[in-house]
Structure 1
Amino acid sequence: MSLLKPSTEKTALFLIAGVATSPDFMEVLREALVRHLHQSGGARISSKLLFPYGDWGRSVLHQLRDARHDMKLPIMERRRSIGGQFIMKEAEPLLDDGWRFVFIGHSAGGNAAVHAAQLLKQREPRVECRIVQIGSPKCPIPAELQASVSFLFAEGKRGRSKDPICRLGSWGGWERGRYGLPVWNRHLYAPSRIIPLQTIGGHADYFRNHPPFMDALGRSNLEAVIGAFCQRCLPESVSDD
């Protein structure tokens, strides 16, 4: 079942890169998603690549500093998010024009996507946002967004992630347990959909669509990611803008 139901509404698709990313790193994913959504027919779609921490032309140390700053922000401090504010500025002009938003973030871009969606919801509670994090560190998801977030990771042995970036961060928090005592719940702020992917390679390889990043059936990493989107993460009926 798709995260977004078929609709004639307008969908703004933002693909959000992480740290030290080449300018065309997510372009193959953007093109594949637009092609899939266009073939489905229905609503209009606008798509854009965003680099909230800069591409590989900016100092890696500065990018890591900004991404680390955002990663440490608690839920109530997301207005200070560097990546979230960057995306918010791109999305805000569409906010009052009937668009719904799909944020797809890789690595630190996934955290920035959550922050931006939270800021949009604070500005306009009725706006429809869906977030897909791919190979991202764990970051606490506010309760009002948990049903709208999917977390995709490269699965290794015993169901654990083989992507070390996905092991960073936490979804945990303290809650009241039996007899009123505090209990640590490691999934208290987790997204509603945690989706393992069977991919070849590592953190930088989710969007590869050529050998050797193909399984025994000839399916590429990109096809595995697109398959997850088609089944659970994206609108079923949109067309090109």
Structure 2
Amino acid sequence: MAVSTSSLRVYLLAGVKTNPCSFNACQSRLTEQLHAEGIEHTIQVLFPYGDASRSLMRQLMEVKTDLSNRMRAGRIGGKYVWQQIKDTVKGEKALFIGHSGGGAAAYQAARMLVEEGSVRDLRVVQVGSPRTPIDPVLKDRVSYFHSIDNLGKLNDPISRIGSWGGWTRAGRTMPTWNRFKYAPGYVEGIPTVGGHADYFRNTEPFMDTESVCNLDKTIGRVRAWLKEWL
């Protein structure tokens, strides 16, 4: 990536029942890489649905409110994130990286910031997240990464939850169902080792036969997508 002197705010958003230290390795790696590239930045970790101490069922119900394009009042996780950052992010570039339900909250918070004109430019990265319908106006600002097996098939059950689908009609033809009508602008599979909770692991046994850890694979894919933007 080209060296930049612009200020960047990075938000790491956790999913349900997540330990406070879950993003430590990811935060360290991003700090190291952005610093090396001369990108002035700050990184903040947020828990849209609370941490591992909260009720799982309550957190899951809150995630559900972020999985559709309902009225603004219904986006519980997204609204929480928006409230936490709206007064500090104005005028800067913002990058949201959300894991699992945090990816849904990341999109909803970003959408609210765009609606009110608070952010100069932003990007949203959803990792192992449920499928949240993306407004076509924002789709090119949103990417989606999910785990795949050795055959290239999706193997993260959380990534099967939700839908990007919608009815499409051309002229006088009968409406047809388009599974990707409201999909993010970029979708890619990552051959990670382990399960849904392991995208940001950087130690054994979360390394492939070439000793590349899940964290490096995930961050590598994200950086490649962000190359022109940063």
Task: Give CA deviations for 1:110-135 in whole Å, capped at 9, x if unaligned.
Answer: 00011011100100076311000000
- The separation in 1 between residues aligned to 2:102 and 2:163, in whole angstroms, is 16
Find the residue that maps to 1:165 and give its secondary structure. Answer: helix
Answer whether contact 1:165 1:203 (CA < 8 A) is retained.
yes
1:233 aligns with 2:230: no
Q: Residue in 2 aligned with 1:82?
A: 76
Give the partner amino acid of 1:35. E
Task: Give CA deviations for 1:115-168 in whole Å, capped at 9, x if unaligned.
Answer: 011100100076311000000011100011100111011112543210000011
| Aligned length in residues | 230
Answer whether contact 2:14 2:101 (CA < 8 A) is retained.
yes
Give the partner amino acid of 2:95. V
TM-score, normalisation: structure 1? 0.89
Find the residue that maps to 1:226 and give its secondary structure. Answer: helix
Answer whether contact 1:177 1:183 (CA < 8 A) is retained.
no
Q: Residue in 2 aligned with 1:199?
A: 192
Give, in angstroms, the shift of residue 93 of structure 1. Answer: 1.2
1:219 aligns with 2:212: yes
Q: Residue in 1 aligned with 2:40?
A: 44
- The separation in 2 between residues aligned to 1:107 and 1:172, in whole angstroms, is 19
Find the residue that maps to 1:174 and give its secondary structure. Answer: strand
Q: Residue in 2 aligned with 1:23?
A: 20
Q: Residue in 1 aligned with 2:125?
A: 132
Give, in angstroms, the shift of residue 25 of structure 1. Answer: 0.6
- List aligned pairs for 1:1-241, cutoff 5 A: 7-41=4-38, 43-71=39-67, 73=68, 75-96=69-90, 98-124=91-117, 127-156=120-149, 158-177=151-170, 179-233=172-226
- The separation in 2 between residues aligned to 1:220 and 1:25, in whole angstroms, is 15
Answer whether contact 1:27 1:49 (CA < 8 A) is retained.
no
5+ residue gaps, structure 2, are none
Find the residue that maps to 1:103 and give its secondary structure. Answer: strand
* Greater relative CO (CA pairs within 8 A, separation 6+): 1
- The separation in 1 between residues aligned to 2:172 and 2:18, in whole angstroms, is 49
- The separation in 1 between residues aligned to 2:3 and 2:84, in whole angstroms, is 25
- CA 1:6–1:79: 2 relative to 1, 3 Å: farther
- The separation in 2 between residues aligned to 1:77 and 1:234, in whole angstroms, is 33
- % identical aligned pairs: 38
Give, in angstroms, the shift of residue 208 of structure 1. Answer: 1.1
Larger helix proportion, structure 1 or 2? 1
- The separation in 2 between residues aligned to 1:95 and 1:15, in whole angstroms, is 14
- The separation in 2 between residues aligned to 1:236 and 1:116, in whole angstroms, is 20
Find the residue that maps to 2:103 and give its secondary structure. Answer: helix
TM-score, normalisation: structure 2? 0.93
Give, in angstroms, the shift of residue 6 of structure 1. Answer: 5.5
Let me know the Cα RMSD of the aligned residues. Answer: 1.9
Give the partner amino acid of 2:178. N
5+ residue gaps, structure 1, are none
